[in-house]
Homo-oligomer: A and B are copies of this chain.
Amino acid sequence: MIDLALVKSKLFTSVISDALDSIGVRNQAMRPFVRPLDDNAVMVGFARTGLYAVRFHAAADENPYEVEIALVDDLRPDDVAVFACHGPTERIAPWGGLLTTAAVYRRAAGCVTDGLARDVRQIRALGFPVFCGGIGPIDSKGRGVMVEKDGLVECAGVRVETGDLVFGDADGVVVVPKAVTGQVIEAALRKVEAERHTSEELSRGAPLAKVFARYGIL
């Protein structure tokens, strides 16, 4: 069982990335085109994945939002909606103001998408953490449709499954696979401690060479 409160207060994406590196799991940071709407946003939670397919028309008799609605209506507290559009893409903005309103009510932890977000002033006003591949006003209707929920997706270069632990902050987004969550958190907590000592010595003017020799981190 993960102590989310502790994790939120002590850990952040770069130390999580280093901890993943230290156990040899090296491709867990999303590509840098995914950025927070608000650089002060901090997000930790459990992935709920949705996969989008491209469309070039909206069929008259189809509800293009059906799977998406099912996923959002099912969000639980601390869930992070991961909307995978095979981005970077400029074609669709799957996340916007209305989904944010619904997600906030359900106390979801945030949203990550390699597509675009829209209604970003409204999202910022609500203080909901959204990490996205860009900003644009266009609706997904007739351009893309969620075809699968809670399956295996790839988002901004990282494979994600429902239940993986997702971290987001000003440095980007990092995904910790379910299987290694405990191991990674433990290594990250240790590294945070060593970084604190390193930083203190450097701020007092100690040479990098000497401090690195002592703590072995940079």
Binding site for B on A (CB under 8 A): 13-14, 16-18, 21, 26, 29, 31-32, 35, 39-40, 51, 53-57, 63, 65, 68-70, 72-73, 86, 90, 93, 96-99, 101-102, 104-105, 116, 118-121, 134-139, 141-142, 147, 151-154, 159, 169-172, 174, 195, 198-199, 202-205, 207-209, 212, 217-218
Contacts and interface: CB of A to CB of B under 8 A. Distances in A.
Question: Within the oligomer, what is the number of copies of this chain?
Answer: 6
Given A14-B119, A57-B152, A102-B208, A135 B170 contact: yes
B142 A105 contact: no
Contacts of A154: 56
Q: Interface on chain A toward B: helix, strand, loop, or mixed SS?
A: mixed
A173 B163 CA distance: 36
Nearest to A91: B86
B208 A69 contact: yes
Contact of A98 (B65, B141, B198, B205): B198
